[in-house]
Every structure is written in structure tokens, then in C-alpha cells.
């Protein structure tokens, strides 16, 4: 095997992460994408893979509270981090206030993009509890929805903000 930068390439790496408040310690291929780690290794299939290029945002998760696109990030890059997937927003089988506002406001249709948009909106509400419509649109702008036209998505985030429902 050829040397790269003076070191032998490593094919496996150890990843220690906390996902949805549960710790995991795994050895994974060095080039395993975070989205594949979450879906295939941990069984958290709410993280969707839509484009593999970060354009659609369906793979959005929270890494230490910041929305990131998991389809172009290696699992090894998340070592030591706290991750939240869409499954981590619900508690005791109950939807979070934000998820509930999406349900009540019809902020989804096919649902494929919804987990990523909800997590991007969650980050927005953590940092801006009372965002304007423009701030909401900017906050979710890294996520594409091919069904709704965004009006009900914005309405859902506004409703969650009014109720103080970040979580």
C-alpha cells in the first residue's frame, strides 16, 4: 500500500459518538459517510439520502446542535460529537412541539425532505426563538422540498415559534 503524506492509510477508524442521547463506540471504514453510519450501522433511517451532494438537505442532522449535511461528511469526522437525528426530537413516543406543528400545519406532503427541514428549523429556533418569515426561509434554505411550495413549512415553524416549541 502506498504511503500518503508519510503515513500508511488507515482503512478502519474508531468512532465514539452520542446519538440521540445514546453513546456508541464503533470501528468503521475510514471513508464511511455519516449518513450511512446512521442509517446502516445504527438503524436510524429517518436520515434520508436524496442527492449525495449536499444540495437537497434530506440528510440534515444536528452535530453538537449545528445542522450539517451527513451525506458528504465522514462518520470519523463526528468522533466525539453529540448527534441528533429526527428520531431524537420525539420523546417517550410523543412528537416534539416542532414536529407536531408540522403535522398540524400540513408542513409536509411526501415526507422525504421533512426530517432535514425539521432539524434545520430546530437549529433556527434554538438560535432565534422568534424568527421572521424571511429568517425562517433563510434558515431552511439549504433544504429542498419538491412538493409543498414551502408556505405550510414556514407556517409550521411560525406556529412552533409562537408556542415556544423548540423541542
CATH number at residue 18: 3.10.20.30
Same domain, 29 and 62: yes
Same domain, 73 and 123: no
pTM reported for the whole predicted model: 0.90
Same domain, 52 and 22: yes
Provide the mean pLDDT of the chain.
92
Under a CB-based contact definition with an 8 Å cutoff, are residues 28 and 13 in contact? Answer: yes
- Domain endpoint, select from 41, 67, 88: 88
**pLDDT, tens only, 124-137:** 999 999 999 999 99
Same domain, 81 and 19: yes
Strand pairing partners for 14? 27
Is it the case that residue 39 has pLDDT exceeding 90? Answer: yes
Under a CB-based contact definition with an 8 Å cutoff, are residues 104 and 158 in contact? Answer: no
- Domain presence at residue 5: no
For residue 149, what pLDDT is reported?
80
Percent of the chain with pLDDT over 90: 84
Domains held by the chain: number: 2
Cα 96 to Cα 13, 39, 69, 101, 166: the distances in Å are 34, 21, 21, 9, 8
DSSP 8: P
Is it the case that residue 164 has pLDDT exceeding 90? Answer: no
Is it the case that residue 120 has pLDDT exceeding 90? Answer: yes
Same domain, 18 and 71: yes
For residue 1, what pLDDT is reported?
44
The number of beta carbons lying within 10 Å of the beta carbon of residue 162 is 10
- Domain presence at residue 3: no
- Domain endpoint, select from 60, 88, 116: 88
Round to whole Å and give the CA distance between 62 and 110: 22
Same domain, 40 and 77: yes
- Say which residue, 37 or 4, is predicted with more confidence: 37
**pLDDT, tens only, 54-110:** 899 999 999 999 999 999 999 999 999 999 999 999 999 999 999 999 999 999 889
Q: Which domain holds residue 154?
A: 97-162
Question: Position of cell 415526507?
Answer: 111
Round to whole Å and give the CA distance between 62 and 27: 22
Same domain, 21 and 71: yes
For residue 4, what pLDDT is reported?
52
CATH of the domain at 132: 1.10.150.120
Cα 152 to Cα 58, 106, 127, 133, 137: the distances in Å are 18, 6, 21, 12, 12
**pLDDT, tens only, 137-158:** 999 999 999 888 899 999 999 9
Amino acid at each position: 500500500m502506498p504511503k500518503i503524506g508519510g503515513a500508511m492509510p488507515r482503512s478502519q477508524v474508531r468512532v465514539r459518538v452520542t446519538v440521540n442521547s445514546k453513546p456508541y463506540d464503533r470501528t468503521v471504514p475510514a471513508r464511511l459517510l455519516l449518513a450511512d453510519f446512521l442509517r446502516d450501522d445504527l438503524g436510524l433511517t429517518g436520515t434520508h439520502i436524496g442527492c449525495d451532494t449536499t444540495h437537497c438537505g434530506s440528510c440534515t442532522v444536528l452535530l453538537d446542535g449545528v445542522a450539517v449535511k451527513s451525506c458528504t461528511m465522514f462518520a470519523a469526522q463526528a468522533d466525539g460529537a453529540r448527534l441528533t437525528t429526527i428520531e431524537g426530537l420525539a420523546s417517550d413516543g410523543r412528537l416534539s412541539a416542532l414536529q407536531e406543528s408540522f403535522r398540524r400545519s400540513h408542513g409536509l406532503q411526501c415526507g422525504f425532505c421533512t426530517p432535514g427541514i425539521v432539524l434545520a428549523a430546530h437549529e433556527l429556533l434554538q438560535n432565534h426563538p422568534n424568527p421572521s418569515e424571511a429568517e425562517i426561509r433563510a434558515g431552511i434554505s439549504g433544504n429542498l422540498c419538491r412538493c409543498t411550495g414551502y408556505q405550510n413549512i414556514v407556517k409550521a415553524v411560525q406556529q412552533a415559534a409562537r408556542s415556544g416549541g423548540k423541542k
